[in-house]
Amino acid sequence: MAGPRPVVLSGPSGAGKSTLLKKLMKDYEGVFGFSVSHTTRNPRPGEEDGKDYHFTTREKMQEGIDNGDFIENAQFSGNMYGTCKSAIEDVQAQNLICILDVDIQGVKNIKQTDLNPYYISIQPPSIEILEKRLRDRQTETEQSIQDRLAAARADTELSKEPGLFDMVIVNDDLEEAYSKLKSVLMEEIQKVQDSKK
């Protein structure tokens, strides 16, 4: 795939990936593009089809997976999630750094492809803090919170696997975490900015 080197961002729900991404995209407007994932779950309030996710049916998504259209896919809480190759190519064709927000299984799947992204894991300072963040959202059922915490424990363990990530950032201080994230991506950011001059 041509274009700037993509970024695979992973980490448990509630670790602060979205907050860091929004900050990055605001500070470097016109540098990053988001690969919009597909999902079979229902939209949450305020989510838009094609912007937050491509909301689809289980049948359609399975057909795409069977056809090899997806670079990674996973199931979580009874729903399917995945990244379509064309979603990444669309972003790269605009000379933008494509950001993929995937779970740890997605990271392992992408490792089997020729994508060659930067792999960055965003981790919470502790499971207790993560639980508080998830509860403060007030968007999750108790079962969903328990599922997410179990997934987070596994994710935290797997993120320690040598060579899986180029960088693991513990998000206990947002500014510090953001500074580390920027430092990893600065070379790629410069390239995109220079090419637009």
CATH (domain of 183): 3.40.50.300
CA angle at residue 157 from 154 to 163, to 5 degrees? 125
Q: What are residue 120's DSSP bridge partners?
A: 9, 167
Number of compact structural domains in the chain: 1
- For the segment 2-14, the average pLDDT, to the nearest whole number, is 87
pLDDT value at residue 79: 92
pLDDT tier at 8, thresholds 50, 70, 90: very high
- 133 within some domain: yes
Residue 1 domain-assigned (yes or no): no
Whole-structure pTM over 0.85, yes or no? no
How many CB atoms within 10 Å of residue 174?
12
Beta bridge partners of 80: 75
Q: What are phi and psi of 138, to 5 degrees?
A: 55, 35
Handedness of CA 44, 154, 75, 67 (dihedral sign): positive
Residue with tokens 């919009």: 36
- Yes or no: say if 122 and 30 are a contact pair by the CB < 8 Å rule: no
In the predicted structure, residue 1 carries a pLDDT above the cut 60:
no
Contact 121, 165 (CB under 8 A): yes
Residue 2 placed within a domain: no
Whole-angstrom Cα distance, residue 28 to residue 115?
Answer: 23
The model's confidence at residue 137, banded by pLDDT at 50, 70 and 90, is confident
Q: Is 41 a catalytic residue?
A: no
**139 located within any domain:** yes
Confidence of residue 2 (pLDDT cuts 50, 70, 90): low
Q: Render pLDDT for 44-66 as a digit per residue (tens, 0 to 9).
A: 889 999 988 999 999 999 999 99
Range of the domain at 63: 7-192
Catalytic residue chosen out of the listed positions 5, 58, 135, 148 = 148
Reported in sequence order, the residue ranges of 59-137 that DSSP labels E, i.e. its strands, are 70-76, 79-84, 97-101, 118-123
Q: Is residue 74 part of a domain?
A: yes
Q: Which of 5, 41, 135, 137 is catalytic?
A: 137
What is the crossing angle of helices 142-158 and 104-111, to 10°? 40
pLDDT at 181: 96
pLDDT band at 83 (very low <50, low <70, confident <90, very high): very high
- Band (pLDDT 50/70/90 cuts) for residue 91 is very high
The pLDDT confidence band at residue 134, using thresholds 50, 70 and 90, is confident
Residue 90 CA, chain-centre distance (Å), reads 17
Q: Is residue 87 part of a domain?
A: yes
